[in-house]
Amino acid sequence: MKRRGLQAEDYTVGWICALPIELAAAREMLDEEDDELPQYSSDSDLYTFGRIGDHNVILACLPAGQMGPQSAATVAARMTSKFTSIRFGLMVGIGGGVPSSESDIRLGDVVISQPSLQYGGVVQYDFGKTEAGGRKSRTGWLDAPPKVLLNAVSKLRALHYQGRGSLTTYLSAFDRLENFRRDAAYPDVLFKASYNHIRGSTCEQCSKEEEVKRTPRKDGQVVVHYGTIASGNQVIKDGITRDRISTELGGVMCFEMEAAGLMNDFRCLVIRGICDYADSHKNKKWQPYAAATAAACAKEIMSVIPAAVYDACRGQKRPETPPRPCSTVPFRRDLDFVSHGTLLNQIHGKLSSPASRVALVGLGGVGKSQLAIEYCHRAREQFPQTWVFWVHSSNLARLEQGYQDIADTVKIPGRKDHKADIFQLVRSWLRDESKGKWILVLDNADDDTMVSKISAYLPQSQNGLVLVTTRNRSVASRLVEESEIIPVKPMDEDDAIILLKKKFGTESNSAELAELAAALECMPLAIVQAAAYIKQRAPRYSLQQYLKEFNKSDKRKTSLLDHEAGYLRRDPEANNSILVTWQISFDHIRDTRRSAADLLSLMSFFDRQSIPKALLRSESKDIEECKDRSNAGEGELEDLGSGKEDTSSESIFDEFEDDIYLLRNYSLVSIKADGISLEMHGLVQLATRRWLEVHGEIEKWKQQFIHNLFIVYPTGEPENWTKCQVLFPHAKSAETQRPSDDGTVQDWGVILRNAAWYAWAKGDYNEAERMSSKARKALLKVVGKENTETLKCMEMLGTVYRYKGRWKEAEELEVQVMETRKRVLGPEHPDTLTSMANLASTSRVLGPEHPSTLTSMANLASTYRNQGRWKEAEGLEVQVMETRKMVLGPEHPSTLTSMSNLAHTWKSQSRNEDAISLMRKCCQLLKQILGPQHSHTIASLEILNEWQIENMEAGI
């Protein structure tokens, strides 16, 4: 709707454009457009009247086809003769940039005229006289912009240095206009000055070898440059000419065609959006976006100039114009936004009633702010008469600035009084239901110490809705009801892949996208970081290369995730590296509760899923006490995997539970449904370890992790399998975290040997081989080959080799172990007897029913069998099987192994019926004890079927 009632003398700013595309961009910047003034409705000069902030503005465009300084001077002269209250002017539009080593000018950037060297901000490069020898000298002088505009430029530059500019906010007004969006333009390519365009309307046929290599800039960033603008009567379309003229003038930033006709009689500031590089490669694809950035910058200049500056010149002060509802969201709408499951619908649902509040709680980088941004843009679309306020709330200074911005936006009287309580002024305005409906977003409200301040000035109003984003659930629970908290977790896989497709294009390899989403654990900021990293290096770098690099090591992962992804619609003061984002939370926790930071440090080394609480006692004595209770059958560790939790010592662990509570509040850990184990995001673990490395504490906590696990990790005996199953993933994590301390390395080796034992018992021979081999190498280096634990690792590895049919390697290891034990322990030591497989000696010393004796006999029988000495093998195997039945029971896994070995020996002796009968019985027991899917069961059934088929074919 247009407004009426203003007179010609009420308009104080003249805005001149050269092209219709520039006028369209200027009109988009008007907060309000006025009706035409009646006395000018039949005039041949056509004007657009409107308001930008407190300023009443006249827009004029040069006649179609009439470009250059003279035409601009005519339009400006006619405007000032009719509108005598104009105090200053703006010449806003597009221009050709002059990139140089001093000024990294890119397409879409903005250049503002500013006095430099001997020039007042604009120089007419084609005006002067030619002297002897062809040398040109320029005559005349162009005035500088008026002082009020130069002061405004200084203030604007200061705001940009502080990261408090509004350019992005104003530029977001063009998001709904497809032609004006950045993504509608071609790629930004700069060619060498001497290389001319080949042919066609684009540069697709131009040589990539002639491109100037430039460091990729943050996605969507517009840089404002200040300096000399060259103006003249001709279009510059040659790179060599461009650079030559710039050098002659001492360095200019852009070329254009109108400003030289204005500066002496229509004192103005010249603002140019860069649409080409003034070379032969120029085309019109960047003109709309460049016009938009220039117009947005002009509006930003006007926003820092109080209307009273020129009202005072007129000798009177007029009341401020009541503003219309608008949005202060400082981020453009994300065209790649993915809905993140049902979260956006949940926000809309919970904020559908008057005076509602909602808090989005989750890890940094999980997408809370992106959800809030999208909600705000949708709300403005649906309810254009609703105010939308965005307040950065990470600290008190930014909260106060956010409230000041609200006061300036809605023009609260008294806000400029330095004694005014800006919080109280805004609170009173928000409570006033006559002001209309509003939405207030408090972004990054993470600090507990600020809750009381926020609460005091956050009114309950039937007109208002409040949306909070925070990493700290404790903050959320003090600002909203528990039912109003929405946890924000990483995306599900489908949404993560959709986001990646939007970043890379639908033609991308789906399998690679799924692999990348999984590697980044569907964390939105990490996904956008990775996409930006890859795209900035394309086409010489691919998604596949990124995955290969990412999976190399933790160090490489950290390097990739430390990369700042550029413009991500995040708080400008926030770091765009996801690891640094989390490390800020770690620092805060460490400062406020050191024991919670210690707990997080320890957890970062475990497998991220199902971390038993009993393993997280950082004090050695606590672990030892737990182990003692476990041995007595009454502790937490005894209940690992049973689903029970010891509650007898609750008071002892209160501090521990408080630590977990704090970490849960920051969404760094979560409790699983069983109530006795915790879960931690894998990338958070990586970030924590990186944080520990920076603080010089990584070895300390790695050793504590190994120590805790060593104390509770049992051997691979069948009676320990329940515990082993719970702890095995943590042993695999330990496998990748070898400590540097020799004493801890010994514990590390024992953990791997016991884990290998369990893996072997469950039939995973490859895993058992890898773990026992690593343990053997480490212990050989640290404690030597005669150490008991080293020999046990070698023995374990030999057993694995034997089960994999690698007889020679098994024999070599067993001989080494036997000879070493004979030398170190003596010939009658139980371990030596086991190694020697000397049945007579073993029987004499240990007795015929001792497990080690039976193991020795079984090993010896295995050797006889592999040598084809069937009768000797059979005699030992029958004895071992019967003894194990009696001592261990007929269903013990070792008894079943003996039955299988005897069946194989009988088969080799052609006692087919006896072999099949015994193997059948063995298979029945294996199904019952180990289950039908166990590798031992499956392998035995396959052998039984093979034997039965052979018998049938033989006609038996």
> CA torsion 192→194→199→201, rounded to 10°?
50
Torsional sign, CA 710, 712, 718, 721: negative
DSSP letter at 383 equals -
Beta bridge partners of 122: 229
* 214 contacts: CB under 8 Å, gap ≥ 6: 104, 106, 190
Q: Tell me: pLDDT of 617 over 70.
A: no
Q: Residue 521: which residues within 8 A CB-CB, separation 6 or more?
A: 490, 681, 682, 683
Q: What is the pLDDT of residue 317?
A: 46
Using pLDDT thresholds of 50, 70 and 90, give the confidence band for residue 107: very high
What does the pLDDT average to over 138-165?
Answer: 84
Give the percent of the chain with pLDDT over 90: 26
Cα separation values, 678 from 308, 608, 615, 661, 721, Å: 61, 8, 11, 11, 21
Position 839, amino acid: L
**Following DSSP, what letter does each residue of 494-511 receive, concatenated?**
HHHHHHHHHHH-TTS-HH
How many CB atoms lie under 10 A from the CB of residue 93? 31
For residue 752, give both structure tokens: 């791997």
Give the burial string for 137-168 (b: 16+ CB within 10 Å, else e): ebeeebbbbeeebbebbeebeebeeeeebbbb
CB contact at 8 A, 728 and 610: no
Distances (CA, A) of 255 to 103, 130, 249, 889: 14, 21, 12, 95
Cα→Cα distances 800→89, 761, 765, 811, Å: 86, 10, 6, 11
Residue 767, CA distances (Å) to 530, 759, 774 in order: 32, 6, 11
Q: Is the pLDDT of residue 235 over 70?
A: yes
Structure confidence at residue 300 as a pLDDT band (50, 70, 90): very high
The more confident residue out of 191 and 503 is: 191
Give the model confidence (pLDDT) of 805-830 as tens digits: 787 787 777 777 777 766 766 654 56
Question: Which pTM was predicted?
Answer: 0.56
Dump pLDDT digits (tens) for 237-260: 999 999 999 998 889 999 998 888
Which residues are within 8 A (CB) of 122 and not within 5 positions of it... i.e. 6 or more apart? 113, 142, 228, 229, 230, 231, 259, 260, 263, 270
For 130-144, the pLDDT digits (tens) are 455 555 555 445 778
pLDDT digits (tens, 9 = 90+) for 377-430: 999 889 989 999 999 988 888 898 889 889 988 888 888 787 889 999 999 999
Above 80 in pLDDT, residue 609? yes
At 323-355, the pLDDT tens digits run 788 888 888 888 888 888 889 999 999 999 999
pLDDT at 316: 43
